[in-house]
A and B are shown apart, each in its own frame.
Chain A
Amino acid sequence: MLPPVLGVLFDGIAYGMLLFLLSVGLSVTLGLMNFVNLAHCAFAMLGGYVTVTLMNVLHWPFFATLPLAFLIAAAASVAFERTLYRRLYRASDLDQVLLTIGIAFVSVAVAAWFFGTTQQPVDMPAYMRGSFNVLGLNIAAYRLFLVGVGVAVTVALIGALEYTRFGAQVRAAVDNQRMASGLGINVDLTFAITFALGSGLAGLGGALAIEIVGLDPNFAFTYLVYVLIIVSVGGLGSIAGSFAAACLIGISDIAGKYYVPELGAFLIYLVMVVVLMWRPAGLFGKR
């Protein structure tokens, strides 16, 4: 048994990284277009089912499926964005909520139709199932891998946003859309690419989540709540904010379940409500 505090902290961070992957795309697209996309986790779920199918039907190794989980989720999201979402960019919050809840409902039913309502099994490679000792801490290899992926994605995203031309365009569009299009930035295209990237990351997160939280058709709603909490706590459009909020919520959730299991998910909802009352725009939000 690990020393509880450090172990809980480590598990919480690993879990937080997962939540970060699931939510960062939504945060950026919300900041960019103010579009309330409640179907975001449906794309994550799609990534999960891609991995499951490739592994169990075609017997691909786990790691080989991850790029496809990313790509297929990204491609599907673009299809939806081009056909349905874009018509509602200027619509009311309510219309956006209704459309995307509708899509999430449909995705749950479709997943249940093809895969049934049971949890999907995945067969992790042996070297990922083990754990090892570091300074007396028992570290699960897969969780360490998750932390690695989370940090790598954060560094890559922040780097891309800060140091590439495309990143500068995204930042300009998040700050002031009208001014950005005045400067000749194609906001429409910028958004489509960002949306695809964000949904792809969610798909990747969905695939990586199977080992930790399982995969069933309700994934689209169960994790939607977590993702929305992270986005609103972190602040729209802020990658660093999402990262911090994901760690905060991940640790709170694991700690809550470990120390006061009778409270259930009470703790994270409380964290969210308190943070939003204190800072309505989130920890790192500007608006």
Chain B
Amino acid sequence: MRRPRLTDRLSPFQRFYLLAMAAFILGPFLPLIIQSLAFRWAWPDLLPSEWWLEQRERSIGPLAWDYVFSPYSRVLEATVNTVIIGAAATILCLAICLPAARVLARERFRGKSAVEFFLSLPLILPEAAIGITLLMVFIGLGLAGSYAGIIIAHLIPTIPYMVRTLTAVYQGLGTEFEEQAMVLGASRLQVFLRVTLPMLMPGVVAGALFTFLVSTNIFLLTFLLGQGRIITLPTLLFSKVSGGTIDASAAGITVIATLPGIVLLLLTERFIRQKAFDGY
């Protein structure tokens, strides 16, 4: 199928509108990138009066991007932590939500509406309330300041989204495909791996992507439960900007913090396009 070219279809107003939206979303990133390359950028200068590269030779310690990539910044550690926690939370979240969504989509049982209500509770409660409650419990259990504690905490705000996404795709998937596979001799595991999972893939990818992005953005829960022992990109960033000024290295870390999400989005977008539209 040939895709219509954008310019064939859009009126000048529509094109202007799209550009304005792009500028609105992407615009704030421009000063951020400039800031990350600046040495001195004071009001009301439009561009920095001194650039990082000009000062590089003269400085004693590492500046701006040199600092970001140096071990002092702990950016590498925070990035690795962010990705590990995000990936673990996503996998666990999927493992919990797939069976739950199957039941919610296909079965009718007493108390179903109550379960659905409780599943959306984390969206209503303030994150601070969840974090402090969990901290109390986790200190007792010895989970505070551990990876496990943070990963469990990250499941709380992500499960509601994942369950909803997967329930919707399960509802769209009739039971006849799985029954057909069983009649053809497939074991339960084979039915799941060869039929159910591939057919749910668009929903699984969407839910996983969302979970990962939410997890990599969580500050408060990580901050409370990490107890300073485990740093992620959001907590690192907050410690850099808590003084109220944003210098070049803080701006650089911010740019780094946007990367996991962008990389993942680019990867999965291609995947979703290929998988979801090949056979449907």
Q: Tell me if chain B binds chain A.
A: no
